[in-house]
Amino acid sequence: MLGQHYFDIRANLRNSVGALVQLAQETDLKPARGTQLRNVLATLKDPFRFVVIGEAGTGKSTLINAIFGEDLCPVDDKHPVSRRIAQYQYGKEKHDFEVSDTLLECYRPVDCLQDFCVVDVPGDGSIKRHQEQLIEQILPTTDFILVVFPVTDPWSPTTWKMLERIYEKWQDKVLLILQQCDRRSDEEISAILEHLRRTSTNRCGTHFPTFAVSGKKAWLAKTSGLDKDRLLEESRFADLESYISQEINRSARRVEKMNEGCSLAKSVIKEVQNKLHTPAEIIRADDEIFATLEMRTETRQSHTEGKFEPVFSAFDNAFMSARLKTDPILDARMGIFSSLRPAGDLPADIEQIITATTLEHVKLTCEEAAIVAEEDVRQLWDELSHDMQTDFKLKLSVGKTGEPEWSASRKRLVEQVESATSGELKNPYLCDGLKKFFRRRRRRMASFLFASTACLLGGLWFLWKGWTPFHMVAFAGAVVALLAAAFAGFEGTSRIRTFFTEELDAQRTRLHEALRKSFNQGVDQCYRDFVLLFDPLREVCTKQRDQYEPLLEAVDELEAAFDELEDELWKQDRKTPATKK
């Protein structure tokens, strides 16, 4: 597309200005500012105007159609349009409107005409007097004046006279086009081009940009799709299109308009930023409030949790004390004859002693620890209330008294720790294991004692009967059975103590972990409850953020977009020759 770089910049500018108009409305900026921005959008729609001058039969229509790759102008010289000035512009439906005997407005639903307007000036000298006045009115807003000469007759006096009348004011817009170059050899074209340059210098005192092209081949290259590259090369259109694109990209009038639009937009952005200054400060203060809240809450929570390390050690000592209370009871059941009795409720009694002793200490200590946690949370509330009143003029208030109620959090912490302790102290495996070991030890010892008694009685009977030496063998068996009973008792005692010690050690570890976890969870919930007190304030801040943060982000994005556009326009402006300004 011709002037693609310019149209890319313009599209970005139009999009940014359009977004700024919307932003100005959302921030209740003065309506006049919105009107000014919409006027900028309207000026950016101003199409580039091409005026094409040349006698009938020079191939102007073919040239115009080839430049834009669209079937805009009829190529039949006898067509009514060819006998008057025809202005081709965009319209949703194709129709022609006769403005006067001299001017015909031709509306076409062709996309390129949204950016370009083409004025075809016929070469019929019979309407010369009327068209000269109209041309004088059109030329001030014209970007390109294409003076077309046919390669077969580049000496047309009518065209040269028209050029002489307009060149003094509009010479920087004039291009000389030698059309239908496919009808001459390269040597002839070079000679004719040289003739055009000399003639323009002699008659107008200047040398205009001059191009030799074949509109017909360029049109075929763009529309037929057959042998496109060869046709386009033979048409010599590349230099003409490149020149027009460069002139569009650096059009001083258009670049100046876009610069003016950027300047206006940036001033509007400043006004929007001033309008949003207070909400921005509120959001910044909100961020600072909640950042302070989170940071100080985390710090104080860690401080509170650190205070409970001695509590965990006290709990561990309480468990060990409870265990020591069970040792005499366990020892009393390790004798030979006491072992022959069933275990009964002994394992349950041992568990009960450990549970009751430990829970008693936990309840006492846990109440004190919960009070410590409550005091820390209360102190944090007092500190934050004071700081927010001082720094942000914000008075914290909860409920009827204005002060939070912490008893529920404290009670929950105590119940949570007691529940975790009670759950870990219930150890059915310990009871079942002790019963199992006592039962096995009792059976083995009873078996060996029965065998020893039987051997002893047998020896006495053998001795009474005088059956020697059988009585000695029986007495020896009794001794062996007693020794076996003693060994079984010792081994059973060792196994029971090992099991008891290992199980209580494991229970001690589990209890320690459970207490630490429940305490930390309880403290964490206390501080969560503390943070929840700020939810009403957080909801208000969230509503403000949802309302204003998108606007703040939008204005920052637009400011960056216009800065980028200004840089691009500054680069483009530097490429614009001083003569073009």
DSSP string, 414-465: HHHHHHHHHHHH--HHHHHHHHHHHHHHHHHHHHHHHHHHHHHHHHHHHHHH
Q: Based on the domain organization, do 512 and 376 belong to the same domain?
A: yes
**Cα Rg, the chain, nearest whole Å:** 52
Would you say residue 448 has pLDDT above 50?
yes
Domain contains 481 = yes
Tell me which of 235, 257, 285 is where a domain ends: 235
- Decide: 52 and 202 in contact? Cβ < 8 Å: no
d(CA 298, CA 152): 91
Per-residue pLDDT at 412: 86
Would you say residue 212 has pLDDT above 90?
yes
- The region that residue 384 occupies, defined by phi over 0 for left and psi between -120 and 50 for alpha, beta otherwise, is alpha
Per-residue pLDDT at 96: 92
Task: Flag the least confident range among 280-284, 291-295, 427-431, 577-581.
Answer: 577-581
What pairing do the DSSP bridges indicate for beta strands 116-121 and 48-53? parallel
Would you say residue 580 has pLDDT above 50?
no
Per-residue pLDDT at 459: 84
pLDDT band at 106 (very low <50, low <70, confident <90, very high): very high
Angle at 539 between CA 536 and CA 544, to 5 degrees: 135
Q: Could you list the residue range(s) of the whole structural domain that residue 392 is in?
A: 277-533
Can you tell me which residue has the tokens 């004390």?
Answer: 321
Q: Based on the domain organization, do 328 and 195 belong to the same domain?
A: no
**Percent of all residues in the chain with a pLDDT value above 70, rounded to a whole number:** 93
Question: Within its chain, how far is the Cα of 124 from the centroid?
Answer: 65
Per-residue pLDDT at 511: 84
Q: Based on the domain organization, do 92 and 163 belong to the same domain?
A: yes
d(CA 563, CA 570): 10
Per-residue pLDDT at 288: 83
Domain contains 302 = yes
Would you say residue 578 has pLDDT above 50?
no
Q: Which residue from 128, 107, 140, 113 is spatially nearest to 47, judged by alpha carbons?
A: 113
Cβ burial 493-527 (10 Å sphere, 16+ → b, else e): beebeebbeeebeebbeebbebbbebbeebbeebb
d(CA 235, CA 179): 10
Per-residue pLDDT at 80: 47
Q: Based on the domain organization, do 180 and 286 belong to the same domain?
A: no
The total domain count for the chain is 2
Q: Helix 309-332 vs helix 470-532: angle between axes, to the nearest 10 degrees?
A: 160
Per-residue pLDDT at 366: 82
Paired residues of 119 in beta bridges: 51, 87
Q: Which residue from 201, 182, 181, 203 is spatially nearest to 192, judged by alpha carbons?
A: 181
Q: Based on the domain organization, do 203 and 298 belong to the same domain?
A: no
Task: State whether residue 73 is helix, strand or coil.
Answer: coil
Q: What average pLDDT score do residues 50-61 get?
A: 88
Q: Based on the domain organization, do 199 and 300 belong to the same domain?
A: no
Domain contains 20 = no
Q: Which residue from 163, 153, 162, 142 is spatially nearest to 208, judged by alpha carbons?
A: 163
- In tens, the pLDDT along 127-168 reads 456 666 777 788 888 999 999 999 888 887 888 888 888 888
Q: Based on the domain organization, do 158 and 285 belong to the same domain?
A: no
Domain contains 86 = yes
Tell me which of 515, 533, 551 is where a domain ends: 533
d(CA 273, CA 106): 46
- Decide: 61 and 82 in contact? Cβ < 8 Å: yes
Tell me which of 533, 558, 576 is where a domain ends: 533
pLDDT band at 78 (very low <50, low <70, confident <90, very high): low
Domain contains 263 = no
Q: Based on the domain organization, do 292 and 226 belong to the same domain?
A: no
**Percent of all residues in the chain with a pLDDT value above 90, rounded to a whole number:** 23
Per-residue pLDDT at 19: 92
CA trace torsion 291, 294, 299, 305 (10° rounding): -170
Concatenating the DSSP letter of every residue in 381-400 gives HHHHHHHHHHHS------TT
Q: What average pLDDT score do residues 540-558 get?
A: 88
Q: Based on the domain organization, do 297 and 214 belong to the same domain?
A: no
Domain contains 272 = no
Per-residue pLDDT at 76: 62
- In tens, the pLDDT along 390-414 reads 766 777 777 677 778 888 888 888 8
Is the bond into 154 cis (omega within 30 degrees of 0)? no
Mean pLDDT is highest, among 330-339, 460-469, 498-507, for 498-507
Q: Based on the domain organization, do 216 and 297 belong to the same domain?
A: no
Per-residue pLDDT at 498: 86
Token representation of residue 98: 């006769």
d(CA 254, CA 257): 5
Per-residue pLDDT at 296: 87
d(CA 503, CA 497): 10
Q: What average pLDDT score do residues 347-355 get?
A: 80
Q: Which residue from 107, 60, 102 is spatially nearest to 84, judged by alpha carbons?
A: 102
Higher pLDDT, 15 or 485: 15
Per-residue pLDDT at 339: 65
Can you tell me which residue has the tokens 């009829």?
Answer: 74
Domain CATH code at residue 56 = 3.40.50.300
Question: H/E element holding 269?
Answer: helix 252-275
Domain contains 414 = yes
Per-residue pLDDT at 474: 83
Per-residue pLDDT at 126: 45
Determine whether 298 is exposed, middle or buried from the number of CB atoms within 10 Å of its CB (0-12, 13-18, 19+): exposed
Q: Based on the domain organization, do 63 and 191 belong to the same domain?
A: yes
Q: How far is CA 234 from CA 148, 188, 218, 298, 389, in A?
A: 19, 15, 8, 78, 82
Concatenating the DSSP letter of every residue in 301-317 gives HHHHHHTTHHHHHHHHH
Q: Based on the domain organization, do 121 and 185 belong to the same domain?
A: yes
To the nearest whole number, what is the mean pLDDT of the chain?
84
Q: What average pLDDT score do residues 312-329 get?
A: 82
Token representation of residue 2: 């011709």
Dihedral sign computed on CA atoms, order 60, 66, 68, 74: positive
